[in-house]
């Protein structure tokens, strides 16, 4: 779908860039992404991807806005309390950019959602903004099987983590290689230990950047894990290793 | 020597710990270091024993039984799963 006059104005700051340009903007326009979790990470991710003109954005979250969310979940307003997050988010995103499609999926993520919108091919990218390891493992498994790029982030307290996998091009090394498939939830989570809003903004912005690079075709950090400590302003970048016994990408794949 | 790094909130619990320790064959895995810390730093060791704590050696995420060599940098990373 070629860009129209309004698109040329709206996306002019992308079009000025040699490594995005008209061809890159069209890739973003044609992309279909799924954001799982519309909390502290999902809010900035959804805002940036909608603003960037990612053409089809599905939002998956069963939760309703709670007053305790407002300290960090920047899509929502005080009067949204009690409303479905995905419904509020969809309204805000369409107000920001009516030229894109946004769908609200108000339920827990499952394999059916992860398979992609009905009657189309699978997602161009899935963005894991969930708050628990069980969902992260489910998402990783589906993305690996469908060869869908996965951009996964997490945060708690002052700390954030991001790791992404380009399963289109790499068939070894996945989330389950790093976090054991059978591992249980740690004691500390956002609900019982708190989290700093801007740390989620940092990690969500990094996720959005990684998504854009995936969609534009120059992502080269498969399985690289980055940690941010907002309390000390420190970063750590590490490479993950293939687990030869990984139940997802290990034994059956060559 | 081994250079230890306790990332993020683990750093709050490890303030009194020597971050450069002599390399010794009895301390040649991240697990052995954790067990050694248990003697004097039970609170830190408890955090290090949580599920999903990650260990990296020379900027590579490894398993707890990864063999260490003189000069390695060993980083311990607390679990981060919220969102
Ligand atoms: Zn794997």
**More confident position, A53 or A120:** A53
Contacts of A207 (CB under 8 A, 6+ apart): A41, A45, A127, A129, A151, A153, A162
Q: Is residue B10 part of a domain?
A: yes
Tens of pLDDT along B5-51?
Answer: 999 999 999 988 999 999 999 889 999 999 999 988 999 999 999 88
Q: How many domains does one find in chain A?
A: 1
Q: Label residue A185 by pLDDT band (50, 70, 90).
A: confident
Q: How many domains does one find in chain B?
A: 1
d(CA B71, CA B69) in angstroms, rounded, equals: 6
Best of B11, B62, B81 to disrupt the A interface (most A CBs within 10 Å) is: B81
Q: Could A189 and B82 be called an inter-chain contact, meaning their C-beta atoms sit closer than 8 Å?
A: yes
Q: List C-alpha distances in Å: A247 to A11, A162, A166, A243, B79.
A: 43, 22, 18, 9, 21
d(CA B13, CA B9) in angstroms, rounded, equals: 7
CATH number of the domain residue B13 falls in: 3.10.20.30
Q: Is residue A57 part of a domain?
A: yes
The per-residue pLDDT of chain A, averaged, comes to 95
Q: What angle do CA A38, A42, A45 make, to 5 degrees?
A: 145
Q: Is residue A251 part of a domain?
A: no
* B80 vs A: CB within 8 A: yes
Q: Is residue A40 part of a domain?
A: yes
Q: Is residue B44 part of a domain?
A: yes
Residue A102's H or E segment, with its range, is strand A101-105
CA dihedral B2, B8, B10, B11 (to 10 degrees): 70
CA A221–ligand 1 middle distance (angstroms): 16
DSSP state of A98: T
Antiparallel, parallel or unpaired: β A150-156 and A56-60: unpaired
Tens of pLDDT along A202-224?
Answer: 999 999 999 999 999 999 999 99
Contact A41, A73 (CB under 8 A): no
Contact A71, A95 (CB under 8 A): no
Looking at A60, A143, A190, A246, which residue is catalytic?
A: A190
CA A245–ligand 1 middle distance (angstroms): 8
Q: Is residue B57 part of a domain?
A: yes
Active site residue A190: yes
CA A84–ligand 1 middle distance (angstroms): 34
Q: Which domain holds residue A118?
A: 22-239
Q: Label residue A253 by pLDDT band (50, 70, 90).
A: very low
Give bridge partners of residue A157 from the DSSP assignment: A195
Does residue A250 carry a pLDDT above 50? yes
Does residue A183 carry a pLDDT above 60? yes
Q: Is residue A161 part of a domain?
A: yes
Tens of pLDDT along A2-33?
Answer: 899 999 999 999 999 999 999 999 999 999 99
Antiparallel, parallel or unpaired: β A101-105 and A56-60: parallel
Nearest CA in chain A to B62: A241
Q: Which domain holds residue B25?
A: 2-77
Q: Which of B59, B61, B83 sits opposite A130 (nearest CB)?
A: B83
Q: Is residue A177 part of a domain?
A: yes
Q: Is residue B83 part of a domain?
A: no
Tally Cβ neighbours within 10 Å of residue B33: 20
Q: Is residue B13 part of a domain?
A: yes
Q: Is residue A250 part of a domain?
A: no
């Amino acid at each position: 779908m070629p860009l129209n006059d309004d698109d040329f104005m709206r996306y002019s700051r992308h079009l000025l860039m040699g490594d995005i340009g008209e061809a890159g903007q069209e890739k973003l326009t044609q992309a279909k992404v799924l954001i799982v979790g519309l909390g502290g990470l999902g809010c900035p991710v959804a805002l940036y991807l909608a603003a960037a003109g990612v053409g089809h954005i599905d939002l998956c979250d069963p939760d309703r806005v709670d007053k305790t969310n407002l300290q960090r979940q920047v899509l929502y307003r005080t009067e949204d309390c009690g409303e479905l997050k995905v419904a509020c988010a969809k309204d805000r995103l369409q107000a920001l950019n009516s030229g894109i499609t946004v769908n609200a999926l108000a339920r827990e993520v499952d394999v059916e959602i992860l398979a992609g919108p009905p009657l189309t091919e699978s997602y161009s990218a899935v963005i894991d903004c969930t708050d628990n390891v069980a969902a992260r493992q489910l998402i990783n498994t589906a993305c690996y099987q469908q060869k869908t790029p996965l951009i996964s982030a997490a945060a708690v307290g002052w700390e954030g983590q991001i790791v992404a996998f380009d399963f289109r091009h790499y068939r070894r090394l996945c989330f389950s290689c790093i976090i054991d498939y059978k591992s249980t939830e740690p004691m500390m989570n956002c609900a019982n230990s708190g989290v700093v809003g801007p740390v989620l903004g940092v990690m969500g912005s990094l996720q959005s950047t990684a998504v854009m690079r995936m969609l534009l075709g120059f992502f080269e950090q498969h399985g690289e894990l980055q940690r941010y400590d907002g309390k000390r302003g420190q970063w750590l970048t590490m490479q993950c290793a293939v687990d030869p016994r990984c139940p997802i990408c290990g034994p059956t794949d060559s | 020597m081994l250079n230890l790094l306790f990332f993020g909130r683990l750093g709050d619990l490890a303030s009194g710990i020597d971050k450069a320790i002599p390399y010794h064959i009895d301390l040649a895995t991240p697990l052995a270091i954790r067990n050694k810390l248990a003697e004097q730093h039970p609170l830190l060791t408890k955090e290090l024993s949580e599920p999903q704590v990650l260990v990296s050696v020379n900027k590579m995420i490894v398993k707890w039984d990864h063999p260490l060599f003189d000069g390695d940098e060993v980083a311990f990373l607390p679990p981060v799963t919220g969102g």
